[in-house]
Amino acid sequence: MADQVVIVVLNYNGQKCLIKTLLSLQALSYTNKEILVVDNASTDGSFAEAQERFPEYSFLALPKNGGFGYGMNRGIEYAIDKQADYVWLFNYDALAEPDALLPLVRVAKQRG
């Protein structure tokens, strides 16, 4: 079985781009992945929309906007608790190419 990757997407008021990002992650060819959306107390409805559109993803709502490090660290803690082999930190305004994750896992395994 392929190594487990948790993809942590930190969101803050990403109404204009979050759904496009999550669609690009959904299209990844790498199958042993979990997509976690961590929300830094958004007020624009983007987090609720993502939960509705992607019920297969995991979601973590934070009580405050503690900044990038605060949010990503909560996502990393989640991945550690899940005993993921790898964690991919992904911006909510970026897009992934469908074959992007496999080469990253291969290189990570080589460097051990």
Band the pLDDT of 100: cuts 50, 70, 90.
Answer: very high
Contact 40/12 with Cβ under 8 angstroms?
A: yes
Tens-place pLDDT, residues 3-35? 999 999 999 999 999 999 999 999 999 999 999
Question: Is 0.85 topped by the overall pTM?
Answer: yes
pLDDT surpasses 90 at 94: yes
Sheet arrangement for strand 86-91: 58-61, 33-39, 5-11, 86-91
